[in-house]
Amino acid sequence: MAQLVLGIGTSHSPLLALSSSQWVHRAEVDRGNPELNLSCGRRLDYAQLLAEVGPLYEAEISAAVLADKEKACQQALDRLADELAGAAPDVVVIVGDDQSELFGPHNQPTLAIFHGGQLDTFEGKYATADAPAWMRQVGEGYLMERSHQAPADAAFGRRLIEGLMREHVDVSSVAHVADPRQAGFGHAYGFVIKRLFRERRMPVVPIMLNTYYPPNVPTSARCYDIGAALRRTLDAMPDDTRVAVVASGGLSHFVVDAALDRRVLRALAEHDVDFLRSVPPQALQSGSSEILNWILVAGAVAPLPMAWCEYQPLYRTPAGTGVGVAFCAWRAP
């Protein structure tokens, strides 16, 4: 069987490609967002949110606090990069969500797997001539300030597709990117390759999960079950390919829900399948929907214990907007 040697969960927030002094730019975006999502399903603008909760997180957005959180996040990312180097996988399967980078309303599969030999990143909004310097910096962190190429394992991708189909999981297949100036792989994949690979050319297989766009967003139960089917597919492979599986994205945003994040992380550590399969859709709106990527990976890495986990609630306004970021590794002792 293929050897699952490592599971990783990593947030990919733009904040992780910026210094803490630059997080103010994303705070300005929050203040102009008319649909800040709460875990109960309600959506508010910033003035409504501030009126409801008050400046509860004022102390959390001081320069010193943000600098400490930036340092903790970068250390955790370095540790994940070390984990990946130590595991020495033959292929890295990255589970992420597409946000109008490769797909769009004209074609939005629930689940798609790439089986081409080269991953081309999307040259989109981060590459425009009028993009501010901080946005171009984020683009560089996402490999999206221009189109980049990374090696992909076409044969392994095809085997995953065929194996999941045998497991009764319907999979859309993607074989190539026609024009990366029009569409290509996005931040969920570029961030992992840029930040964790350390310029090593490890072949990847991207799995694209539609977490953002109704009406065909899968439930948490479906995502966990797909992950379990992915693990059975790996177990059924006759060779000993070394595989790392990465969940890219999350956790709660654009209003931080630290209680939800910590409950999800506890369930991931304890392999609490009942909880992971029952996270309600209203808690998985907008950016918080990327928790589904972690739930799918949890189904795949279930036999492995969680080795360590780091969590930071990155508040960036007094009303508590921002993102809960997490970094975890599952591996055999």
Model confidence at 125, pLDDT cuts 50, 70, 90, reads: confident
- pLDDT above 90 for 276: yes
Which one-letter amino acid corresponds to residue 62? S
Q: Mean pLDDT throughout 275-281? A: 98
Average pLDDT, the chain: 97
> What radius of gyration do the chain's Cα atoms show?
19
What string of DSSP letters covers 10-29? Answer: E---GGGGS-GGGTHHHHHH
pLDDT of residue 332: 86
- List, in order, residues 6 or more apart from 71 with CB less than 8 Å away: none
| Tens-digit pLDDT profile for residues 148-207 | 999 999 999 999 999 999 999 999 999 999 999 999 999 999 999 999 999 999 999 999
Q: Mean pLDDT throughout 34-63? A: 97
Q: Work out whether strand 204-209 and strand 91-96 pair parallel, antiparallel, or are unpaired.
A: parallel
Pairwise CA distance, residues 153 & 109, whole Å: 21
The DSSP secondary-structure symbol of 197 reads S
| Tens-digit pLDDT profile for residues 286-318 | 999 999 999 999 999 998 999 999 999 999 999
Tokens of 319: 């009303």
pTM of the full structure: 0.97
- pLDDT above 90 for 1: no
Q: Out of 3.40.830.10, 3.40.50.2300, 3.50.50.60, 3.40.50.720, which CATH number does the structure's domain 3-330 have?
A: 3.40.830.10
Phi, psi (deg, nearest 5) at residue 9: -125, 130
Are the CB atoms for 46 and 30 separated by under 8 Å? yes
pLDDT of residue 91: 98
Percent of the chain with pLDDT over 90: 96
Query: Omega of the bond prior to 254 within 30 degrees of 0, cis?
Result: yes
